[in-house]
């Protein structure tokens, strides 16, 4: 069997998550929640339209519950560069990347978006993870001149993606220039007047980065402007969307989600996180293992996409079995499921053992003697306009 615990659960389970300030507004707009006391918005009443908007216009996701860790001080860049899997020290203010903190064995502990600012470096991480990330970083802090802080209360980002997203961001926040991946604009001024990266008369942080496997932006004008920013983006043409549309987009793109597809039992290459680590920056925690995998291969498992023979949900943790030499073998585990509009059926992300990862390889779902369906590996990304998770199309 594959190592790792992937019992069905929500990625926010057992975490001290921030309260979504927009939740009353979402309820008033007819949002459907995962449960009566949940903060997870499943949809706003029309999933096909939300998905269509992502393909043709733009969709808007409430990601204001994300946490933010601040690293400030003269040694901030060198400290993080020594620990993290992706480069830090060579980044200039306004630049950033997707980054990882790995274990000494090279497995994924934390996945976050790093941004370098003039006087600080920030790590935007999934809701409920700031305290644990701070504790992990503090373990390696000795005599460095820096301060680590949880500043999540100042972080209230919204996320937008789709072909019209750049035009909408330009209209709402004044960012008219094309931004590179993980480039951030914060209240640029000309002749004393804010002309870019602003909202409501105050500086806003606008970052270009993948959203659900699509080119997009994260905009943060602070908690005090959150509701007005949501309204402005919606008025400018972004369709409000929920978790179902988000999962469809990312699963069709093959993008792993922290807490669902990524945990402390997974190597970055297994989760297709090649965009989040560097093979050239020198030593960091877990670097020797990551480099060895790149040089010699030998991954025991790899995240793949599988087309399901039906459109019923497949529970996270469902095992994948295949007849191998006349014996049914447990060769994989499902970590995410979504209905795919491209394939018009269910689509799973799952970790599958090596030698069984080729497109067209078929498995039985669950008990091989009484399966709940079949699943067949398909190339990634499934969606034509998606960003391939590794940067390359299979």
Q: Is the pLDDT of residue 198 over 90?
A: no
Q: Is the pLDDT of residue 208 over 80?
A: yes
Q: What CATH number is associated with residue 130? A: 3.30.70.1400
Residue 224: predicted pLDDT: 94
Mean per-residue pLDDT, 237-260: 97
The packing angle between helices 47-56 and 243-253, to 10°, is: 50
Whole domain around residue 135: which residue ranges? 67-154
Q: What is the pLDDT of residues 58-75, one digit of tens each?
A: 999 999 999 999 999 999
Residue 41 belongs to some domain of the structure: no
Lowest mean pLDDT among 260-264, 295-299, 348-352: 295-299
71, burial (CB in 10 Å: exposed 0-12, middle 13-18, buried 19+)? buried
Count Cβ atoms below 10 Å from residue 254 Cβ, excluding itself.
27
Residue 353 belongs to some domain of the structure: no
Residue 291 belongs to some domain of the structure: no
Q: Write down the pTM of the prediction.
A: 0.92
Residue 3: predicted pLDDT: 34
Residue 281 belongs to some domain of the structure: no
Residue 370 belongs to some domain of the structure: no
Q: What is the pLDDT of residues 108-163, one digit of tens each?
A: 999 999 999 999 999 999 999 999 999 999 999 999 999 999 999 999 999 999 99
Residue 343 belongs to some domain of the structure: no
Residue 119 belongs to some domain of the structure: yes
Mean per-residue pLDDT, 8-15: 46
Mean per-residue pLDDT, 1-25: 57
Binned at pLDDT 50, 70 and 90, residue 30 comes out as very high
Residue 145 belongs to some domain of the structure: yes
Q: What is the pLDDT of residues 164-189, one digit of tens each?
A: 999 999 999 988 778 999 999 987 65
Domain total of the chain: 1
Mean per-residue pLDDT, 235-254: 97
Mean per-residue pLDDT, 220-248: 96
The mean pLDDT value of the chain amounts to 91
Q: Is the pLDDT of residue 34 over 80?
A: yes
Q: Is the pLDDT of residue 280 over 80?
A: yes
């Amino acid at each position: 069997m594959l190592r790792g615990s992937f019992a069905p659960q929500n990625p926010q389970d057992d975490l001290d998550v921030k309260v979504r300030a927009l939740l009353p507004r979402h309820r008033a707009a007819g949002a459907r929640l995962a449960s009566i006391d949940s903060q997870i918005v499943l949809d706003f009443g029309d999933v096909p339209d939300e998905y269509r908007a992502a393909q043709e216009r733009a969709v808007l996701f409430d990601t204001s519950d994300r946490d933010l860790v601040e690293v400030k001080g003269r040694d901030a860049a060198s400290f993080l560069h020594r620990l993290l899997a992706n480069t830090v020290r060579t980044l200039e203010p306004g630049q950033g990347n997707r980054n990882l903190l790995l274990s000494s064995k090279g497995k994924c502990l934390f996945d976050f978006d790093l941004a370098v600012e003039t006087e600080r470096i920030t790590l935007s991480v999934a809701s409920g993870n700031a305290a644990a990330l701070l504790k992990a970083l503090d373990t390696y802090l000795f005599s460095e001149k820096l301060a680590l802080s949880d500043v999540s209360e100042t972080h209230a980002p919204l996320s937008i993606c789709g072909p019209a997203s750049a035009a909408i961001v330009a209209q709402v926040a004044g960012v008219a220039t094309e931004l590179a991946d993980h480039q951030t604009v914060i209240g640029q001024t000309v002749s004393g007047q804010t002309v870019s990266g602003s909202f409501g008369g105050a500086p806003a942080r606008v970052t270009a980065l993948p959203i659900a496997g699509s080119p997009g932006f994260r905009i943060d004008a602070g908690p005090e402007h959150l509701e007005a920013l949501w309204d402005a983006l919606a008025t400018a043409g972004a369709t409000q969307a929920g978790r179902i549309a988000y999962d469809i987009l990312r699963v069709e793109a093959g993008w792993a989600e922290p807490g669902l597809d990524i945990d402390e039992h997974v190597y970055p290459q297994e989760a297709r996180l090649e965009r989040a680590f560097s093979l050239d920056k020198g030593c960091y925690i877990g670097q020797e293992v990551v480099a060895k995998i790149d040089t010699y291969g030998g991954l025991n498992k790899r995240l793949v996409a599988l087309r399901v023979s039906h459109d019923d949900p497949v529970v996270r943790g469902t095992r994948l079995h295949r007849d191998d030499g006349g014996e049914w073998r447990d060769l994989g585990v499902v970590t995410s499921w979504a209905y795919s509009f491209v394939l018009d059926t269910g689509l799973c992300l799952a970790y599958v053992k090596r030698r069984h990862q080729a497109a067209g390889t078929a498995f039985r779902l669950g008990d091989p003697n009484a399966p709940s369906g079949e699943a067949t590996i398909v190339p990634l990304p499934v969606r034509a306009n998606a960003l391939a998770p590794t940067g390359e199309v299979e």
